[in-house]
A and B are shown apart, each in its own frame.
Chain A
Amino acid sequence: MTISGITLPFDRRTFFKLGGGAAALTLLPDGLVHAAGGTSANLAMVGEPQSLDPMASTADLIGTIMQHVYETLYTFDANWALRPMLAADMPTISADGKLYTIAIRPDAVLHNGRKLDAEDVVISLKRWIELTPRGKSVGTTVDAITAKGAATVEIALKAVNPSLLSHLALPSGMAAIMAKETIANPLTEFVGTGPYRFVERKPDQYTLLVRHDGYVGRTEAPSGYAGKREARLTELRFIPVPNANTRVEGVIAGQYQFSDQLPVESMKKVSGASGIQPILTMPYGFPYVVTNTKQGPMANLGVRKAFQLALSEADMLLAAFGDEKFFATSAEHFPKGSPFYSDAGASSYNKADAAAAKKLLAEAKYDNTPIRILNSKQYEFHNRMALVMAENLKEAGFNATLDVVDWATLIQRRGDAALWDVYVTHSAFLPEPMLSPPQLSDGAPGWWKTPAKDAALAAFNGETDAAKRGALWGKVQQVVSDEVPYIRVGNFAALSGATGKMKGYKPMPWPAFWNVDLG
């Protein structure tokens, strides 16, 4: 064996026998384990999921893993249009928009071998309404959910809710359809209809899913999360690897077949490695900056408008992501092609006008009270944006201070209006406006509540016609720009890495591994 020009008196095989035992050979170099009739994939994720109950939290990681186990009534296709999944078709909606009749697919089979029925759906949706924040918000408009026979469910609403189906389709805080006999709090059995079934979770080591051999999926062509789902891999092992560098090295060495959310700085390394494909998901999400409209200097609209004028969103994004491959400036909440695309409010985006901001500050009688920018280094890009933001603000005459804490502290502090003036966060890109950011609802940190907000959102949420909703969203976007409850900084991409052998993977915000194989 030769290493860097030095010849050693044993071959590589002997080295392993000496060093790690013959068993270590099984780790080499691809790390794949070919089980009988299939292949396993090691998928390095950013951490350990809080829970495996998809209704216990809106954390994206739970949705990413459990969307393989559970399915929803509806889902999104590649263009973020709603498509049926466990529902046989799109629902029949009554003329007043308050009664949804949903036929359940008769061929859907649970992991325990039983056919899915309407009771499973009703009990699951009731649990979702009871437990999840999104479900609770939907629940305020729901009058009753009832089974009509074995294969039909009716959802009766007290008030029209045009975002109902989007809520039912989202993988995070998922309206997962579960086997009714397994429903409990906390959930101890994870029995759904997905292409994979749950086998074992070893916290901080792996979550193991195996192919659901009895799976009966849809027959339409795959598109986004919709259409045919085929479990080509025998096993999926979701491995928590919190260290980003280890995720990079692991996928390059072949120990992981997929590494999620790699640092953007590793793009060159991942692209240059042989047998590795870099995967860019764009848009993956959007960073946004929330203002405290309840207490402190930012409660003054004039100060918030000055804040908006002072910021250079382009510089913030550049500092955060380093390369234009990974971000895009965008005043619009939704991209062109989306029914919600609107450039309303774009005129106040990315102004970086310190002089005008200074003038506005004086008019607002800003008294030099410190503007505390709450941010966390646990998300490096948040901190880098905060640094640029602070400089923008100082230039405009703000007394800006950085309050850098860990994420757990930020989550707690943002709930107390006395402790912050601005905080930095981000959200995954979501196709329906009412899904994120939470400041569009009432009570979220920032506590934005004004007559203009209420009027714009009442009009938007009262309209069931999709075409009219698009135009009404522009009005909401304008109110957001006028009242500055938050500033959407732009869009950003996520970088992942996968072995070059991985075929069929489609970049999506919640990585999915059905229809994927390893060559």
Chain B
Amino acid sequence: MASRLAKRLGGLVIVMFIVAAIVFFLTRLAPGDPAALMLGDQATADDIARLRTTYGLDRPLFIQFGLWLAEVVKGNLGHSIFLQRPVTQALLERAEPTFFLALFALAFATLIGIPCGIASAVWRGRLVDQILSAIAMLSASIPSFWLGLLFIQFFAVRLGWLPVAGYGDPGAPLAERLAHLILPATVLGIVNSALIVRFTRASMLDVLGEDFIRTARAKGISERRVVLRHAFGNALVPIVTVVGLTGALLIGGAIVTETVFGLPGIGNLIVSSVLRRDYPVIQGALIVVAGIYVIINIAVDLIYALVDPRVRT
């Protein structure tokens, strides 16, 4: 187990270096100039050149990359051109809504997705299965921005139950801030539950066809116990994978949902930073997101070993 972990952590360093290089050079290859955007329409070429020099954007790309990488290794993700603050601070300020949004959405998706997937597998081909499969297909096909606007229109505007957007007034208590997450988390949960339903159903069907399930039934074990304990326990590996990866994607920022609901989260920050060409923030945010994604992948690998003894060998 320890050597498995060490090997995975070694891989993490290589992956992160590759990610850093790709993020840096792709960002710079895109046209656009943060200095020109900052200064506005009336700026002259001299003004723009001066600001580029201030931020070191006039230096050769490889030197910029080397300097940035050296700072990243020291834990310094740089300084935002647009926000005028360290990138780490900008990310930390946005971590709370993104974290709770991911948590609630994942909880919602899992609580809906796993029972529906199990029911769909147990009643395979029956009306329940057809209805649940159709709903799952529909959920996967609905664009989250459209569903978000629909929910805003109905729950926030028509019924007036929940806030339209944002993350609470200045100084709002945590409960008020979290109330702003109910609608976006529900939207994200619905959209992401479809994948969990499909994976749970497929995995359960595989396991329910195994000999040991037939044996369990032959031994007179109740169907409830067969399904929930014997089948579900053995179907967990792919379900853990899909739940883990969904969680990783959500922590990286539910870009569209955060934008529609005006949540000041990491996804929103990435979108705004791309439009502003705020290179340090784009690079820093993507490095952190990639890091989280890789770490969750490693965690999922380790969970495999816990839920399936065959993987430990």
Contacts and interface: CB of A to CB of B under 8 A. Distances in A.
B160 A23 contact: no
A406 B275 contact: yes
A237 interface: yes
B272 A204 contact: yes
B118 interface: no
B40 A58 contact: yes
Contact of B38 (A56, A136, A241, A406): A56
Contacts of A3: 159
Interface stretch (A12-20, A105-113, A474-482): A12-20
Given A173-B40, A249-B157, A408-B275, A205 B175 contact: no
Interface string B243-255: 0000000000000
Interface residues of A, number: 70
Contacts of B47: 133, 136
B82 interface: yes
A26 B174 CA distance: 13
Contacts of B277: 408
A57 B31 contact: no
A427 B41 CA distance: 9
Interface in B234-272: 259-262, 264, 268-269, 272
A411 B277 CA distance: 12
Given A134-B42, A243-B260, A249 B164 contact: yes
Contacts of A412: 31-33, 36
A147 interface: no
Say whether chain A's binding surface is mostly helix, strand, loop, or mixed.
mixed
Interface string A436-448: 1010000100000
A208 B40 CA distance: 23
Given A12-B161, A24-B179, A31-B163, A48 B272 contact: yes
A488 B23 CA distance: 41
A252 B157 contact: yes
B179 A20 contact: yes
A408 B156 contact: no
B135 interface: no
A134 B47 CA distance: 11
B37 interface: yes
B18 interface: no
A427 B84 CA distance: 27
A319 B165 CA distance: 31
A173 B45 CA distance: 17
A185 to B, nearest CB: 10
Contacts of A415: 36, 45, 48
Given A21-B175, A133-B39, A408-B275, 14 more contacts: A24-B179, A27-B162, A29-B160, A200-B170, A203-B90, A204-B94, A205-B264, A245-B149, A246-B262, A250-B164, A253-B157, A253-B163, A425-B41, A443-B45
Question: Closest 9 interchain pairs by CB?
Answer: A408-B32, A20-B179, A58-B40, A24-B179, A133-B42, A23-B175, A21-B175, A29-B160, A409-B31
